[in-house]
Amino acid sequence: MIEQYRWQGGFPKIGIRPTIDGRRRGVRESLEEKTMTMARNVAEFFSSTLRNPDGSPVECVIADTCIGGVAEASAAAKKFAKENVGLSVTVTPCWCYGTETMDMDASIPQAVWGFNGTERPGAVYLAAVLAGYAQKGIPAFGIYGHDVQDLADNSIPQDVQEKLLAFAKSGLAVANLRGKSYLSMGSVSMGIAGSVVNETFFQDYLGMRNEYVDMSEFVRRMDEVIYDTAEYEKALAWVKEYCKEGPDNNEPEGQKSREAKDKDWETVVKMALIARDLMIGNPRLAELGFEEEANGHNAIASGFQGQRQWTDHFPNGDFMEAMLNSSFDWNGIRSPYIVATENDSLNGVTMLFGYLLTHSAQIFADVRTYWSPDAVKRVTGYTLEGKAAEGIIHLINSGAAALDGSGEQTQNGQPVMKPHWEITQDEADNCLAATSWRPASTGYFRGGGFSSDFLTKGGMPVTMARINLVKGLGPVLQIAEGYTVDLPEAVHDALDKRTDPTWPTTWFTPVLTGEGSFKTVYDVMDNWGANHGVLSYGHVGADLITLASMLRIPVNMHNVPEEKIYRPKVWGLHGTSDKEGADYRACQNFGPLYK
């Protein structure tokens, strides 16, 4: 019931705009069927390929008629507004009247596919309308097939498919952000700048609003029993069966009694229920007489301050964060929630980007330590090899990473992190079995609690990313594609025990280019902009770059091959020899999407 309630607002749709040469008495009539067929084929391609966060097919809306002039363009715009269209793709096989047929909605991402055929000048329209978009200050993406097609060929070439998907995935992410909330549960954690929530960033760049609750709201809801008690009992029984408790590393005088630990389990389970209800609401609360609380905060992401005002007295938020960020819980397999530890809203947004692009859970971590090959050799006697040969980065945080990050889901025999609709119950059970819940270090967490402890399997392609804010510049995004790596057990133990072995560990190595920030692994670590980072499954740096360009967020470092980068056509008019500089200039020129 709660999952159905979660997505009650529906999902944005993709608008398809078939544009046509408006000249009647033979020209337009000869092109109607071809143009509308292009539109239908693109709509079918999207709906058969793309999924919404709940796993349902993405819906498309096609203009009622081909668009040959401003009246039909206006009619399509009205239909799109009524149908919750969040991005639009214009398609055409021919010349059209550019400024008369273009989509003038500057608040949504725009793309144009101009058919590469010799019979009619679709490429000429594409160039003309993109020039119009540039002149009017609406960055649009151009799509032009590499090879000439015959006019009767209604297929979508592979290179066109790739650009359509790159645009649509990022455009849907933009549209899914708009109108949602980021919920701060608490305030600033230990002086971490990312937990100083910047409303201007959320409003101007993401189209989101900010919501706030004090952490005392958790105490109120626990004391006044503002949660579903039946679900609580179900969740607690599930925890006792599937969440195995690990060894207590605290000194004997710092260890809690069995009775106190059992009480902590009850508290952290209630915290997970309450945090979820604060984010999205819960119709069950209305049935219990709590109509206001039942509404939630329409939050697509949240953050929990925890340290230290909460954790000096109450159990930590690790279980709450780890389970909500995972793709399963006591109610079964479901889409992950996005909860940032220490209320690091900038890492929370980066998690949100990764989730909306991949639909899989995200790993929140400290970018803790760079281990050079020499340092590993000195400490353990082991010589790093394979993908780890140039050095590794230790990603570890206090137990809030999604359990999917254990790598216990598989595809073709390899560890992966899947969208929830592809995860089997056995895979969810394996993630749970690979995780132990360690009594929290009372040096860090005086109030106790439990931290998840797992080791990420090596061999997964992943992308590390992070948004940072710079005074006078605004947000910037950094990206590092790489791989998780395995270490021999003794080597892992030796390195892991130098930090806190009760927390989940991921050994990460970036793909090096030999230049700039990616000359060495040390350079990646040295150029990272904050203490936190996010790991998304897959090499999705190109998608992140496309998404960032839609939101006007420049990218300050990445190791994505140039041929994979896809930005609005007008970015090239800001310079072609210095593409990183052109990205900064374009983002500054056009400004935030919603400002």
What residues are labeled active site? 342, 366
At 452, is the secondary structure helix, strand, or coil? strand
At 97, is the secondary structure helix, strand, or coil? coil
Query: Do 18 and 39 meet the contact criterion of CB atoms below 8 Å apart?
Result: yes
- The total of other beta-carbon atoms located within 10 Å of residue 390's CB is 14
Cβ-Cβ contacts under 8 Å for 553 (sequence gap 6 or more): 205, 467, 474, 475, 476, 477, 587
Max Cα-Cα span within the chain: 92
At 256, is the secondary structure helix, strand, or coil? coil
Cβ-Cβ contacts under 8 Å for 518 (sequence gap 6 or more): 480, 510, 511, 512, 524, 557, 559
Query: Do 207 and 181 meet the contact criterion of CB atoms below 8 Å apart?
Result: no
Query: Do 476 and 500 meet the contact criterion of CB atoms below 8 Å apart?
Result: no
Whose tokens are 């066109």? That residue is 160
DSSP tag of 177: H
580-587: which pairs have CB atoms within 8 A and are 24 or more residues apart? Answer: 580/554, 580/555, 580/556, 583/549, 583/554, 583/555, 584/554, 586/139, 586/549, 586/552, 587/549, 587/552, 587/553, 587/554
The amino acid occupying position 538 is G
